[in-house]
Structure formats: C-alpha cells, structure tokens
Amino acid sequence: MKTAPFPEIVTADGEKPVFKAGDTVFISTRYPVGHYRVPRYIRGKRCVIEAVIEPCGLNNEEEGFGRNAGQKRHYYRVAIPLADLWPGYAGSAADGLRIEVYETWLEGTK
C-alpha cells in the first residue's frame, strides 16, 4: 500500500471512494417515496464492485427534484450474477448484471 505523498491533505466529505474494485457489498434495502434510481429487483442483493466510476457525481435521486448542486459521491459499477436475482434462472451460471449504484445505496456488511 502506497503512503499518500501529502499526508496533511484533508479530503472533502465524499471525495474519496468508500469502496474499491473487488469489494463485496450489499445493495441497501430501503423504499424511497417517489423518485429512485436503484431498481427494485436489485435491492438487498450482494454484489461485487467492478469499478469505481470517476469523477464523483450528484445523487440522482436528489437531482430528480431539481437539486443541481450539493455533495457529490461516487457511483460504482457492480456485478450481480443473474442466478442471484432470479430463482431458477435458466441461462448460464456465469450470466450477470452490471449496473451503476450511488455510494449511499451500498453497504459493506449486511
């Protein structure tokens, strides 16, 4: 692990990704009223982070209500086997979903 060249640097809240590629995380289970961008079919599922998307972005749930500014966090491209999503999935066991999820919808443990 590299040491940071500038240890005195303080990053803004949300500036550093919380997760990294390869991490196993869970999609949160919550039910926002109105607008959401995390489809129901992946709620609560375990996934593996394939990539941290750079740069940070706005929370799209809030953007839907006109919030064009504010705190930015990372989106993550995550992988979920289709067999984990659909009981009795009939395709190949290797078939999978890739989807981008905002940091506030991911949890390290369940």
Partner 1 sequence: MTPSEELVRHLPTDMGGLPADRIDCSDHELLPWEKRCHALADVLDYHKILNTEEKRRGVEALGAEMIGKLSYYERWVVAFANILFQKQVLTPEELALKMDDVAARHAREAQA
Partner 2 sequence: MTHTHDHTPITVPDGVPGYYEIMETAMRELLAEKGIIHPAEIRRQIEVLDSRGPQLGAKVVARAWIDPEFRQRLLANGRAACEELGITFYDDTGLIVLENTEKVHNLIVCTLCSCYPRPVLGLPPDWYKQKPYRARAVREPRGVLAEFGTVISPEVEIRVSDSTSQLRYLVLPLRPAGTEGWTEEELAALVTRDAMIGVSTIEAQERKVR
d(CA 82, CA 93): 8
d(CA 17, CA 104): 11
# chain residues binding partner 1, by CB under 8 A: 18
Task: Identify which of residues 5 and 34 has a Cβ nearer to partner 1 in the complex.
Answer: 34
Task: Identify which of residues 26 and 60 has a Cβ nearer to partner 1 in the complex.
Answer: 60
d(CA 24, CA 49): 6
Q: Which of residues 7-36 bind partner 2 (CB under 8 A)?
A: none
- Provide, rounded to whole angstroms, the least separation between the CB of residue 54 and partner 2: 10
What type of residue sits at position 80? I
What type of residue sits at position 56? C
- Using CB under 8 A as the criterion, which residues of the chain lie in contact with partner 2 when the complex forms? 37-39, 41, 53, 57, 60, 75, 77, 82, 85-86, 89-92, 94-102
